[in-house]
Amino acid sequence: MDLSVIPYVLAGLAVVIGTLAFYFGYGGTAPGTPEEWASFGTYAGGVAGPLLSFIALIAVAQTISLQRAMLEQDRARQLADQHLRWLDALYRDMTEAVAWPVSPDHPLRDVLDGVIAASEVEEKRLKAGLDNLMRLLSQYCQAVDLYRDNISEFYDLRIYADRGARLLDAIKPLHGNLGTMFQPTIEFCDMHLRGETQRATPEALARSSRTP
């Protein structure tokens, strides 16, 4: 049983009981003839009818409001799921991008993790791998910002933002190997991850993009 209907049932019962109490309390007697039943019906309908109709109207309005709220929650849940699928897909693409070979024996991941120095791998392949990774990371950071604006700024977002921040911090020492069009992207990515819309001066390269 839907517990939300209980207040309206109780209110209806109160109206009925109050109508009867008023009738019998002021000298009314139990109807015995058809004419008395007709008179009693007219009285009860005139007193209780409008009140019961008003209660029913309130119940219908409440039901519509609850249905609208449920539809909004369902829409928000679907939108959240869509954003999360987008973020997860981009993260998978970035995971594949760091596997890009920058030398016969090493993927881009090894350069980002400091296993091998950038000077020890093929410069062209390193630049191509970093540019592709930066393109994906830029989309990822924008998706995090959109998630914050449209879905939630709480726990789930911090997980995704930290993923992007860790990767961005790994790219920063290699910013000189990026194409010129991607170097300013580091600042914009940092702003997206932190939810900022403008800055007076660049600061992303001077500190970590991860937040406490």
pLDDT mean by block of 10 residues, the chain; 212 residues = 68 77 71 75 76 80 85 83 89 95 94 94 93 94 87 71 94 88 87 90 91 78
CA distance 103 to 39: 100
- Is 61 in the same domain as 102? no
- Is 162 in the same domain as 200? yes
Number of domains in the chain: 2
Residue 105 belongs to a domain: yes
Q: Which residues of 198-207 are buried (b: 16+ CB within 10 A; e: fewer)?
A: eeeeeebeee
Considering the entire predicted model, what is its pTM? 0.68
CA distance 95 to 64: 46
For 150, the domain range is: 98-206
pLDDT digits (tens, 9 = 90+) for 14-34: 777 777 777 777 666 777 778
Residue 80 belongs to a domain: no
- Is 41 in the same domain as 122? no
> DSSP code of 172?
G
What is the C-alpha radius of gyration for the chain, rounded to an integer number of angstroms?
A: 34
CA distance 98 to 1: 55
Residue 36 belongs to a domain: yes
Residue 135 belongs to a domain: yes
- Is 117 in the same domain as 56? no
- Is 62 in the same domain as 123? no
Contact call for residues 151 and 199 (beta carbons, < 8 A) = no
pLDDT digits (tens, 9 = 90+) for 122-142: 999 999 999 999 999 999 999
